[in-house]
Amino acid sequence: SYELTQPPSVSVSPGQTATITCSNDALPRRYAYWYQQKSDQAPVLVIYEDYKRPSGIPTRFSASSSGAVATLTITGAQVEDEADYYCFSTDGSGLRGVFGGGTQLIVL
Amino acid sequence: QERLVQSETEVKGPGASLDLSCKASGYTFLDYWIHWVRQAPGHGLEWIGISQPGVDKTIIAEKFQARVSMTTDTSTATAHMQLRNLRPDDTATYFCTRHAIGGNWLFDLWGRGTLVTVSS
């Protein structure tokens, strides 16, 4: 089955740069999306189509995709960025969606 | 204001069927696909499937194909997802979300989720 692989957790101190990866061999042919989910809330889109940032998302959130790896970067992470982050893409057929397993970002 | 409104909670017994609703408002219902996503307690997001309002074209993840149906009611701008033969491991929060028809799969609006508990 099609899977997107993320690290279970990433830990940084406030002001440091957090990097979260998402990997699958099909990513060169598919867009990656990133969602932030805080406790007991619905997910929020923070990056779409590999690197684009929706309006209202702080500029410290950026992303890229190279080869089989998509990367979300939070430059100068804040305490309020502590959340679970999920990558999302479509499978090889492009018809079905898949979420990565999620990465818990700890900022302390 | 664009919204997707879902009921808060459902409690069902094993073997029962579930009908979840997702009511859209503030935008043109026919312009967006509706996706369903679930999240078991303490676990990650899981994509269930997608339906196109008005034509009820659906694509469902292989894992759910035997038990899930998706429909839409354009008269009330409401999407429905039916899950049959419920099991305790179907206990989860079920979200609806959308992406623009003809666009890429960016989910820019989410419902708050329905917490479904399956227990005897």
For each of chain B's 120 residues, which pLDDT tens digit applies?
A: 999 999 899 999 999 999 999 999 999 999 999 999 999 999 999 999 999 998 879 999 999 999 999 999 999 999 999 999 999 999 999 999 999 998 899 999 999 999 999 999
b or e along B43-69 (b: 16 or more beta carbons within 10 Å of the residue's beta carbon)? ebbbbbbbbbbeeeebbbbeebeebbb
Cα within 13 Å of Cα(B114), Cβ side = 25
Shortest Cα distance from B107 to chain A (angstroms)? 7
Return the ∠ at Cα A40 (arms to B111 and A65), rounded to 5°.
Answer: 75
Q: Does A84 touch chain B (CB under 8 A)?
A: yes
Q: Return the closest-CA partner of residue A19 out of B87, B22, A66, B50.
A: A66
- What is the band of A28 on the pLDDT scale with cuts at 50, 70, 90? confident
Shortest Cα distance from A30 to chain B (angstroms)? 10
Q: Return the closest-CA partner of residue B38 out of B104, B111, B99.
A: B111
Question: Looking up tokens 């684009």, which residue turns up?
Answer: A52
Residue A1 has pLDDT above 80, yes or no: no
- Residue A80's CB: how many other CB atoms inside 10 A? 10
CA dist A21 to A96, B20, B63, B65, Å?
A: 21, 33, 26, 30
Residue pairs spanning A and B at CB distance below 8 A: 57
Shortest Cα distance from B20 to chain A (angstroms)? 17
| Model pLDDT, residue A92 | 82
Tens-place pLDDT, residues A61-98 = 999 999 999 999 999 999 999 999 999 999 888 889 99
- Residue type at position B84: R
| Model pLDDT, residue B59 | 96
Q: How many residues does chain A have?
A: 108
Nearest to B47 among A37, A99, A102 (CB): A99
